[in-house]
Amino acid sequence: MKAAMDTSKDEGREEGIEIGKEQGIKQGIEIGIPEGEIIKARKIAKGMKMKGYSIDEIAELTNLSIEEIKML
């Protein structure tokens, strides 16, 4: 009987680990994608600024704030 309980615990632990991994991956994606989009927008804005685009144009096209663009 004890062996069956140990097996059940092991299976439960493994299932818990798998669920935890899936949740971690999902959370990482949910956080990482928006952060990556912001980084990309900043790079684009910086390039546009160097090419002489107005801050208003950059803000409109990148959805970054005017204050953030001025700091680039």
- Report the alpha-carbon distance of residue 7 to residue 31 in Å, rounded: 36
DSSP code at position 29: H
The whole-number pLDDT of residue 30 equals 87
Residue scoring higher pLDDT (9 or 35): 35
CA 35 to chain centre: 5
The whole-number pLDDT of residue 2 equals 55
The pLDDT tens digits for 11-33 are: 888 888 889 889 989 998 888 88
DSSP code at position 24: H
The whole-number pLDDT of residue 37 equals 93
Q: What percent of the chain has pLDDT over 70?
A: 90
Confidence of residue 69 (pLDDT cuts 50, 70, 90): very high
